């Protein structure tokens, strides 16, 4: 789970507004989203977000979409693949 820091949000920089939950079994890079509503300077070393890891208990299905699994670097959105069936 990825969340932006509230102190950064108060300055007008929103971090990861959508898709803040990772999928069980996903392997690859997680795209970090920035949405800025006013000019702001970010300096190297400033922590802008937090990552939480949770224990998964009980029955669950592993990530099987494959759209971004094992990605390498920046990728375009692949939502259109949901409609190609």
What would the pLDDT profile of 26-65 be if each residue is shown by its tens digit?
888 877 888 999 999 989 999 999 888 888 888 887 777 7
Structural domain span for residue 1:
1-85
**What total number of domains does the chain contain?**
1
Supply the pLDDT for residue 24.
Answer: 81
The tokens for 26 are 């996903």
27 vs 5: CA distance, rounded Å: 25
Supply the pLDDT for residue 85.
Answer: 65
Summarised one tens digit per residue, pLDDT across range 2-23 is 888 999 999 999 987 777 787 7
3 SS3 class: strand
Whether the predicted pLDDT of 70 surpasses 70? yes
What residues act catalytically? 33
């Amino acid at each position: 789970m990825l969340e932006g820091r509230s102190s950064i949000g108060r300055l007008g920089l929103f971090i990861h507004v959508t898709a803040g939950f990772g999928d069980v079994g996903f392997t690859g890079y997680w795209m970090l989203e920035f949405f800025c509503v006013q000019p702001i300077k970010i300096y190297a070393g400033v922590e802008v977000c937090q990552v939480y890891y949770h224990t998964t208990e009980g029955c669950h299905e592993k990530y099987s979409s494959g759209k971004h699994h094992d990605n390498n670097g920046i990728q375009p959105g692949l939502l259109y693949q949901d409609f190609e069936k």
